[in-house]
Structure 1
Amino acid sequence: MTEHGVLPQSFYARRPDAVALELLGKMLVRVLGGVTMRGVITETEAYFGPEDPASRARHRRGRLTEAMKGPAGYTLVYGIHRQWLLNVVAHAEGEAGAVLIRSIKTEFGEVRGPGRVTRYMMIDKSMHQQPVFSPSSPLQVQTYKVLPDDCVERKKRIGVSRDLDTPLNFSVKKDCKAML
């Protein structure tokens, strides 16, 4: 895997579902000391603002709500069930939203599950509110592959008791992962 350009902040200043879809096939890069870890994003979930019953922003106040309303392209890292989850803030001007990174494909195989992704990439609370669009950031999202529509599966979000009608979980179909 080679280095590619970092996605600009404007990439994230759109609807969370559009960003979640287009993050598939992009490279998540973590620099820690002299070590660089990489993984191609293979599964994401979009979350909207207070109107989304599964969103952390539904409470309208609090640290997570404010982060989801904050500048697009920054990380939102929070703990749940004794593990860290990595989201990237993504929304249009004046809105709230974020994209959860659920799975990545590494040179060692696929890392499935948002808690496993953060453990593999050594992401914890210290990575909260980091820009993923800056070439000097310890966590970046870089260009890599653009997937054809027929390589993307859409379904309901995982582990969500109340959901929107639109499927907001996006993943690379199994037979397309070989191209990553």
Structure 2
Amino acid sequence: MPTFDPAWFERDPLELAPLLLGGVLTRADASGAVALRLTEVEAYRGNDDPGAHSFRGKTARNATMFGPGGHVYCYFTYGMHHAVNIVAGPEGSGWGVLIRAGEVVDGHALALERRSTRRAAPPTGELARGPGNVAQSLGATLADDGAAFACSVGRGGRADGAPVSRPVWSFEPSPERAAHHTGPRVGVSGPGGDASAYPWRFWIPGEPSVSAYRPATPRKRTAPPTP
């Protein structure tokens, strides 16, 4: 059971991101626990990074990113899904790592149930492929934003196996550093999407849960009707 200090996360996201690969991220609530072995992440580096939510400073939405490392930053995006990030660096840095994909290694039935919500048929393939599916499989919502990481949690929710009334998050690093590839981040537009300047996506090669790379597509604005 990991008992490392939360300061483990207080490092540059470019250093933290590859260390997260192969580690197990767990969220437990009254329904049970779901655990993901992380296979793909993206680093975001505050005011040095035009692709980061925190690039222009602290707001009500991104305030958690400016807290100390070892917390969950969860946000709602595109009016469709949530996304889960791990806050990196010291307090005030605005750094974080987006969890893009993982392999469900515990709580598969619960993850499948969550992913099947509002679908005509159960999903097939990897349940936590892509940030929205990661959050849905874990059951993460805006209520998780700002949650601190605790020690490891068991199948019932807590380390002692008892259920929990509020979500508990934990992370267990891989005992061995995972071999990984790097490349451009997915769907980041503008300067932050520059593949040569920001090759800040990290993934374990050969993992079926890793998402396919897609560059950002500029949004087209509809021209007003001609009078």
TM range (shorter): 0.7 to 0.9
- Measure the CA separation in 2 of the matches of 1:21 and 1:29: 18
Alignment of 1:85-164 (within 5 A): 85-92=83-90, 94-107=92-105, 110=126, 111-135=128-152, 138-148=168-178, 151-161=179-189, 162-163=191-192
Q: CA RMSD in A?
A: 2.3
Q: Secondary structure at the match of 1:174?
A: coil
In structure 2, the CA distance between the partners of 1:7 and 1:41, relative to structure 1 (3 Å rule), is farther
TM-score in terms of structure 1 length? 0.85
Q: Which deviates more from structure 2 when the two are superposed, residues 151-160 or residues 129-138?
A: 129-138
Where structure 1 has 5 or more consecutive residues not aligned to the other structure, the ranges are none
SS for the counterpart of 1:63 is coil
Pairwise CA distance, 1:60: 1.2
Equivalent in the alignment of 1:83: 81
How has the CA–CA distance of structure 1 residues 6 and 153 changed in structure 2, closer, same or farther, with 3 Å as cutoff? farther
1:29-44 to 2 correspondences below 5 Å: 29-33=26-30, 35-44=32-41
Please give the alpha-carbon distance, in whole angstroms, between the structure 1 residues aligned to 2:208 and 2:135: 24
TM-aligned CA distance change 1:126 to 1:65, over 3 Å: closer
* 2:201 corresponding residue in structure 1: 169
Deviations 1:70-114 (A, max 9, x none): 111111110002100101110145422011000011146642100
Output the amino acid matched with 1:157. Answer: R
More strand by share: 1
Q: C-alpha displacement at 1:67, in angstroms?
A: 1.8
> Which structure: larger Rg?
2
List runs of 5+ in structure 2 lacking aligned partners.
109-124, 153-157, 159-166, 210-227
